[in-house]
Amino acid sequence: MLTSQVAQKFQEIFASNGALLVRSPGRVNLIGEHTDYNNGFVLPAAVDKAIYLAIARRPDDEIQLFAMDLGQSYRGPIRPPLTPSALHWPNYILGIVEQLQGMGFTIGGFNCVFAGDIPLGAGMSSSAALENAVIFALNLIFGLGLDPMTMVRLSQKAENEFVGLQCGIMDMFASMFGRKDQVIRLDCRSLEYTYFPFKAPGLRILLLDTQVEHSLASSEYNVRRQQCEAGVKLVQRHHPEVKSLRDVTLEMLSAHVAPVDELIWRRCSFVVEENARVLSGTEDLLRGDLAAFGEKMYASHDGLSQKYEVSCAESDWLVGQVRGVEGVIGARQMGGGFGGCTINLVEEELIDGLVTRLAPLYREVMKRDLKWYIGRIEDGTSAV
Q: Three-state DSSP class for 49?
A: strand
Show the site string, 148-167: x = touches ligand GLA by CB under 6 A, - = not: -------------------x
If binding is defined by CB under 6 A, does position 44 make contact with ligand GLA? no
Number of amino acids touching ligand GLA (CB under 6 A): 11
If binding is defined by CB under 6 A, does position 36 make contact with ligand GLA? yes
Q: Which is nearer to ligand GLA, 146 or 174 (CB)?
A: 174
DSSP for residue 349: G
Angle in degrees, 0-180, between the axes of helices 217-236 and 262-287, rounded to the nearest 10: 100
If binding is defined by CB under 6 A, does position 37 make contact with ligand GLA? yes
Q: Three-state DSSP class for 42?
A: strand
Q: Which is nearer to ligand GLA, 21 or 170 (CB)?
A: 170
Pairing of strands 382-383, 20-29: antiparallel
- In the complex, the smallest distance separating the C-beta of residue 171 from ligand GLA, rounded to whole angstroms, is 5
Q: Which is nearer to ligand GLA, 93 or 170 (CB)?
A: 170
Q: What is the tally of helices (H) and strands (E) in the chain?
A: 11, 13
Tell me the C-alpha distance between 268 and 228, whole Å.
6
Angle in degrees, 0-180, between the axes of helices 148-158 and 126-141, rounded to the nearest 10: 130
Asked if 183 contacts 44 with a C-beta cutoff of 8 angstroms, the reply is yes
Of residues 140, 31, 25, 6, the one with CA closest to residue 375:
25
> Near ligand GLA by CB under 6 A, which window of 9-17, 33-41, 49-57, 295-303?
33-41
Of residues 91, 88, 97, 45, the one with CA closest to residue 70:
88
- Among 171, 209, 284, 378, the residue binding ligand GLA under the rule CB under 6 A is 171
Q: Which is nearer to ligand GLA, 36 or 378 (CB)?
A: 36
- Among 34, 157, 296, 332, the residue binding ligand GLA under the rule CB under 6 A is 34
Which residues on neighbouring strands pair with residue 67, listed in sequence order? 72, 114
Asked if 249 contacts 230 with a C-beta cutoff of 8 angstroms, the reply is no
Residue 153 dihedral angles phi and psi, to the nearest 5°: -65, -35
If binding is defined by CB under 6 A, does position 274 make contact with ligand GLA? no
- Among 336, 339, 375, 380, the residue binding ligand GLA under the rule CB under 6 A is 336
Query: What residues from 121 to 140 belong to the interface with ligand GLA (CB under 6 A)?
Result: 125
- Among 20, 54, 154, 170, the residue binding ligand GLA under the rule CB under 6 A is 170
Asked if 337 contacts 343 with a C-beta cutoff of 8 angstroms, the reply is no
If binding is defined by CB under 6 A, does position 207 make contact with ligand GLA? no
- Among 40, 95, 335, 375, the residue binding ligand GLA under the rule CB under 6 A is 335
Question: Is 171 noted as a catalytic residue in this protein?
Answer: yes
- In the complex, the smallest distance separating the C-beta of residue 264 from ligand GLA, rounded to whole angstroms, is 18
Tell me how many degrees the CA angle 203-208-210 measures, rounded to the nearest 5: 165
Catalytic residues: 171
- Give the interface with ligand GLA as residue ranges (CB under 6 A): 33-34, 36-37, 125, 167-168, 170-171, 335-336
